[in-house]
Structure 1
């Protein structure tokens, strides 16, 4: 199977622009034969949307604005892992989530970020409370959001729920404040003995230099693929039966 990572500049939005860019990237990935398409953390609104506009409204999801992306799922028969803030009226809380859509465009499930201090850029979001493992293309797929992959209790808990592969939507470059996440990601893959895929993002928002953020693929603790830099769709081949990466390098398609 072929997997695509949408390594894009999305952090400051606005949402309308982000959705247009995501549609462009997802279509490109699908046209290149991708079966799965991953996006970064908070790809729809932009990771720093709350800093840009503290009055921004977080809508229930999936909202009508996501229909073009869901249509692409149906048109090309892809699974889409979409980083997106969402409001849940049942508990009157907003969450930093990953929505997972199947080849029919319907929602397979969602993961709500487990780690959070409800501060800073994520002051709008509350913590999720459950592990997420979803059936995608015959693989039991563990889903995490960014810093979830730092904590053993989260990735080990996901593995214990039956995950055969783990995907993570990220907004995390190496920084002096937050450290370098790569060693933690490698350790997560080593401890769980599964492939870990991190879709990161790029850009130069005033709060953090994301240009050095890496999108990586790690097999059982061994770093196989890594990329940082300009906005691009990164494709690679994955053997779902052997559960290992086949590609020696990303197939990089830059987004203008």
Structure 2
């Protein structure tokens, strides 16, 4: 299976409409891939909180339409990163869209764990309530976004629901890049699944992005890793390896659930 992780740079001087069209052209250039991925909040920047309300759009807005067209033109499964969605009730969400090679919307995921503690998206956005996975011809992908990576129970839930490949779209800051790599590998090892984690490049709202998109196999080995700058990271991987690793080292079968904590 061929995957392309588009580590696009978010430059505050580039108009959102221009970056949207540029992202679409990068997707179309991946014609021949099976799966293409974009990072978190690439239209506006994951830390550009002051822009969220102005750049929010409906689910069926311009990002949806441009990405659907790009997926169809490229003939790929497209994980279109995420954008700021304004729901019908006015609530903002950090929302991911997945499209089929025909340009049909296959899934919607709203980020569950919101970053910022008492500021930023944690107070500006609504939290998603559902785990979401998508069955591709070669593998089942489980969806997550950035800060979700710190919460192993989300990924365990995705694995329990049949996910074999865990996808993370992020706008991860460079100052915590060591956590990014460590957590991506941990999620792969503990769930015996591939992890495809795509970040953004550039600097926005004064926050330098980590870049370093990474692909990890079910044994925790790094198959490919990007640098700091904008690039397209491509990798070939065998989805069947997930089942092989789980069969040869069946650790997931030894889980003990429902234990009571002693106080």
TM-score, with structure 1 as normaliser: 0.84
- What CA distance in whole angstroms lies between the structure 2 residues aligned with 1:26 and 1:139? 20
Partner of 1:253: none
Q: Does 1:101 align with 2:99?
A: yes
Partner of 1:162: 162
Distance change in 2, residues 1:204/1:76 (3 Å) = closer
Equivalent positions of 1:1-256 (< 5 A) are 1-10=1-10, 12=12, 14-30=15-31, 33-51=32-50, 53=51, 55-82=53-80, 83-89=82-88, 91-117=89-115, 119-122=118-121, 123-175=123-175, 180-210=179-209, 212-220=210-218, 221-243=220-242
Deviation at 1:19, TM superposition (A): 0.3
Deviation at 1:48, TM superposition (A): 3.4
SS in 2 for 1:198: strand
Deviation at 1:117, TM superposition (A): 4.7
Deviation at 1:11, TM superposition (A): 6.0
CA contact (8 A) 1:111 1:143 kept: yes
Task: Give the helix-richer structure, 1 or 2.
Answer: 2
Structure 2: give runs of 5+ residues left out of the alignment: 244-263
Deviation at 1:66, TM superposition (A): 3.6
SS in 1 for 2:20: helix
Deviation at 1:163, TM superposition (A): 0.5
- What CA distance in whole angstroms lies between the structure 2 residues aligned with 1:209 and 1:199? 15
Structure 1: give runs of 5+ residues left out of the alignment: 245-256
The C-alpha deviation readout for 1:123-143, integer Å capped at 9, x for no partner, is 432211111111123421101
Distance change in 2, residues 1:40/1:242 (3 Å) = same
Distance change in 2, residues 1:54/1:226 (3 Å) = closer
The C-alpha deviation readout for 1:39-74, integer Å capped at 9, x for no partner, is 0001233323433x3650412113145433322222
SS in 1 for 2:59: coil
Distance change in 2, residues 1:236/1:242 (3 Å) = same
TM-score, with structure 2 as normaliser: 0.82
Deviation at 1:161, TM superposition (A): 1.2
Task: Give the strand-richer structure, 1 or 2.
Answer: 1
SS in 1 for 2:36: strand
Distance change in 2, residues 1:55/1:219 (3 Å) = closer
The C-alpha deviation readout for 1:108-156, integer Å capped at 9, x for no partner, is 0111111115654424322111111111234211010011111111111
